[in-house]
Chains A and B, each alone.
Chain A
Amino acid sequence: MIAYLIRRILYSLPILVGVNLLTFALFFVVNTPDDMARMQLGIKRVTPDAIEKWKQQRGYDKPLLLNSAASGTDKITGTIFWQKSASMFVLDFGYSDDGRSIGREITTRMGPSLAIALPTFLIGLVAYVSFALLMTLFRATALDMAGVALCVLLMSVSGLFYIIGGQFVVSKLWHLVPISGYDGGMGGFKFVVLPVVIGVIGSVGSSSRWYRTIFLEEIGKDYVRTARAKGLSELAVLFRHVLKNAMIPILTGVVVIIPLLFMGSLLTESFFGIPGLGSYTIDAINAQDFSVVRAMVFLGSLLYIVGLILTDISYTIVDPRVRLS
């Protein structure tokens, strides 16, 4: 197990290197730092001096890959690639355009992001699985058809509508919770409720339908017939047999997003004014703060890879037949 994990982590290093090279190419080769400086300073009336100054302030005044002016290891380390891109491997994300440490921002903003994303994820999982089980229980009846129709309808509504509509009805018409804002501790509860509820409703359609397909696939298998032949009630069959056996396909889709919960949701956070990583990313995109976007891309793929490894581990927990070696 340990040996497998170590090997697995080593395997994922090349992928991270690939992500790093990709972002490097995207941010520094497609457009040179000169282009970015010109963009940031305004296209017209920009002097070469101003560009040089902008680059120097941000440490972009070095060669991209090889510093032939320097000597020794500085040839490699004195480059943009080394200082801006490779440094992310040790989680050194550098500074944003307004001079703050990105690493510090990430650690402080993870909390609020998690406060929204984790309850949304847990409540959502329970709700979707129960709804899907209910549809499976009443499969091929009018109730099931209505459930599927509802799912398709909910799927077809834009995610923005849930947020805007929810804010309008709950906060503006009924005055139940504040429209936006965030507070740590228990006082934050009233800010968290609406985003969580909307987040859960937002993907009820696609998720429930997906779980329903999984359950329906399981319910056609032979062990289910055996269980029924033993005289088990339909409920017992569903909960004791089908749910357990559906764990592997469910885990495949679910565990991988757990680490990504840290990143929060772009839309929810920016609409509800939650100071998490999602709104941080949106602000960076709007301010064209490339170093922050670069850091978030790298962090996102790092967390995704962690999620893949966790998925493998989770298989061994739910299915004793799976051995990692």
Chain B
Amino acid sequence: MPVILWSDALVFLLLAAGIACAWYVRQREHLLLPWRRVAQSATAMVSLLVLSLFLLVGLLDTLHFQAALSEKNSGETVYSPEVLSVFDLLVTPLRTQTEKTYSAPLAVALYAKESIEMPDGKVLREYPRLRYGGAHLTDTQRQDSDILWRGLTGALAGLLAGLLIALVGKRWLAQRGWPLRALLIATLIIAAIIGMTAKLAAAYHVLGTDKVGQDVLYLSLKSIRTGLIIGTVTTLVTLPLALLLGIAAGYWRGRVDDVIQYIYTVLSSIPSVLLIAAAVLMMQVTIDTHPQWFDTSASRADLRLVFLCLILGVTSWTGLCRLLRGETLKLREMEYIQAAQAFGVSSLRILTRHIMPNVMHIVLISLVMDFSGLVLAEAVLSYVGVGVDPSMISFGTMINGARLEMGREPMVWWALASAFGFMLVLVLAANLFADTVRDAFDPRLNRTEMVA
């Protein structure tokens, strides 16, 4: 039975809006022009490739369902209370093959010694073998060669698949002036890494397991959705607020401007972490005092995520609003606006036809620039205790859980390293892409070199 959580619905809404925008831009050559400049940049396209992989994982993880349990007494089918996603289904082995507790990446034995009773009655203190990690090995001496063999064959298979994709893609992209060589190299590297990981993950825990024995690779991949949602759904709140209020303040000035300026000065004068903390604490009280609102724990965690996006949106629209107000103040004095006013064009039409399209580059730049900041903020907020629900898998909760194990000897480093590593790749790709977008859309930059 498909389940649409609140955040899923919002993601679908965003996706639909994104596709609609893309279709609209495709029809218009002048809007397409800056995107062509983005497409010529090797860094931007490679970043986009990485980002779209993250997006793919996130989207697969957004298609939720409740599995039907085979029910003995006939009649209605009963659904499992556990909400799963298509992504969970794809990586079922990763999700279900849990160990007892910590184990290092690619290990065959647990991280801590345990008392094992031998067949002859003696008790031995030893590192017990893992239930799944390297379970196919009869002789643990062969572990290294097995890993090497699997890694190599996996990478090779990945390379072959990557070449195939590249060949198909090349024909399709041939005349577009895209940086083919950079894309080819990136595709091959990514394909090799994915192939190697997939082959190894079939037999080992590639990134180890956490305290309750869950596979860290699975947790990291699941965290992607949370990060992406925080980074994107928040714009659903910031965008309308900033756009409407910013343009209204700049266009009508006077009283309207005073009121809007007052609102955003009040909001921006509160340090944002504190405002977020206060709002999240209050939301927590509401959620805790109304347990009857939620039928599954997933829907509760999900609603908390949506609220967090809402709160982040309410606290972060002020910057964009100020920019838009300033730009509108400038635009409304332009000749073409005055001409439109003189012709008696209605305010609404002036706003939508003449002002809105001319501030869109600011909106776009600020949206892509904010994305990475929001992904990073999630981890910090979860650490402070005002982030996502503790039961929700995210980079923040992973770091939070692993942080407490810093003091162990030998150190449990893999969960931290994976969370930081995945976050770095995501945020770096987003930052690089955002930079190119800004350069392509910012009219202040000198464009002569790009035209030539």
Residue of B nearest to A161 (CB): B420
> Do A43 and B435 have beta carbons less than 8 Å apart?
no
What is the interface size of chain B, counting residues whose CB is below 8 A from a CB of the partner?
44
Please tell me if A235 contacts chain B, counting CB pairs below 8 Å: no
Report B-chain residues with C-beta under 8 Å of the C-beta of A266. 273, 384
> Do B279 and A26 have beta carbons less than 8 Å apart?
yes
Measured CB to CB, the closest approach of chain B to A143, in angstroms, equals 19
Measured CB to CB, the closest approach of chain B to A19, in angstroms, equals 6
With contacts A15-B262, A260-B271, A288-B281 taken as known, whether A31 is within 8 angstroms of B432 at the C-beta atoms is no
- Per-residue 0/1 for B403-433: is the Cβ within 8 Å of any A Cβ (1 yes, 0 no)? 1001000010000100010011001100110
Please tell me if A146 contacts chain B, counting CB pairs below 8 Å: no
> Do B380 and A297 have beta carbons less than 8 Å apart?
no
Could you list some 26 contacts between A and B, CB below 8 A?
A14-B262, A15-B262, A18-B262, A19-B266, A30-B286, A31-B282, A35-B286, A39-B285, A43-B291, A152-B431, A153-B428, A155-B431, A156-B372, A157-B420, A158-B379, A160-B420, A161-B420, A168-B411, A263-B271, A267-B380, A281-B277, A282-B384, A288-B284, A297-B275, A301-B270, A304-B269
Report B-chain residues with C-beta under 8 Å of the C-beta of A260. 271
Q: A-B contact count, CB below 8 Å? A: 122
Q: Is the interface of B mostly helix, strand, loop or mixed?
A: helix
Q: Is the interface of A mostly helix, strand, loop or mixed?
A: helix
Report B-chain residues with C-beta under 8 Å of the C-beta of A301. 266, 269-271
Please tell me if B53 contacts chain A, counting CB pairs below 8 Å: no
Please tell me if B274 contacts chain A, counting CB pairs below 8 Å: yes
Please tell me if B376 contacts chain A, counting CB pairs below 8 Å: yes
Please tell me if B288 contacts chain A, counting CB pairs below 8 Å: yes
Task: Kindly state the separation between the CA atoms of A19 and B271 in the bound complex, as whole angstroms.
Answer: 11
Report A-chain residues with C-beta under 8 Å of the C-beta of B262. 14-15, 18
- Per-residue 0/1 for A153-174: is the Cβ within 8 Å of any B Cβ (1 yes, 0 no)? 1011111110010011000100
Residue of B nearest to A308 (CB): B269
Contact partner of A156 (CB less than 8 A), chosen from B265, B385, B416, B431, is B431
Report A-chain residues with C-beta under 8 Å of the C-beta of B273. 266
With contacts A155-B431, A297-B275 taken as known, whether A15 is within 8 angstroms of B265 at the C-beta atoms is yes
Task: Kindly state the separation between the CA atoms of A35 and B278 in the bound complex, as whole angstroms.
Answer: 15
Contact partner of B403 (CB less than 8 A), chosen from A30, A43, A164, A286, is A164
- Per-residue 0/1 for A283-308: is the Cβ within 8 Å of any B Cβ (1 yes, 0 no)? 00110101001101100110011000
What is the interface size of chain A, counting residues whose CB is below 8 A from a CB of the partner?
46
Contact partner of A35 (CB less than 8 A), chosen from B275, B285, B406, is B285
Please tell me if A27 contacts chain B, counting CB pairs below 8 Å: yes
Measured CB to CB, the closest approach of chain B to A172, in angstroms, equals 8
Task: Kindly state the separation between the CA atoms of A31 and B280 in the bound complex, as whole angstroms.
Answer: 12
With contacts A23-B278, A31-B289, A158-B376 taken as known, whether A304 is within 8 angstroms of B271 at the C-beta atoms is yes
Task: Kindly state the separation between the CA atoms of A23 and B282 in the bound complex, as whole angstroms.
Answer: 11
Measured CB to CB, the closest approach of chain A to B323, in angstroms, equals 14
Report B-chain residues with C-beta under 8 Å of the C-beta of A241. none
Please tell me if B230 contacts chain A, counting CB pairs below 8 Å: no
Task: Kindly state the separation between the CA atoms of A266 and B269 in the bound complex, as whole angstroms.
Answer: 18
| Max chain A C-beta neighbours (<10 A), residue from B266, B267, B284, B411 | B266
Please tell me if B399 contacts chain A, counting CB pairs below 8 Å: yes
Please tell me if B386 contacts chain A, counting CB pairs below 8 Å: yes
Contact partner of B288 (CB less than 8 A), chosen from A27, A43, A161, A263, is A43
Residues of chain B from 275 to 309 with CB closer than 8 A to chain A in the complex: 275, 277-279, 281-282, 284-286, 288-289, 291
Please tell me if A65 contacts chain B, counting CB pairs below 8 Å: no
Task: Kindly state the separation between the CA atoms of A61 and B385 in the bound complex, as whole angstroms.
Answer: 29
Please tell me if A62 contacts chain B, counting CB pairs below 8 Å: no
- Per-residue 0/1 for B186-219: is the Cβ within 8 Å of any A Cβ (1 yes, 0 no)? 0000000000000000000000000000000000
> Do B286 and A296 have beta carbons less than 8 Å apart?
no
Measured CB to CB, the closest approach of chain A to B374, in angstroms, equals 12
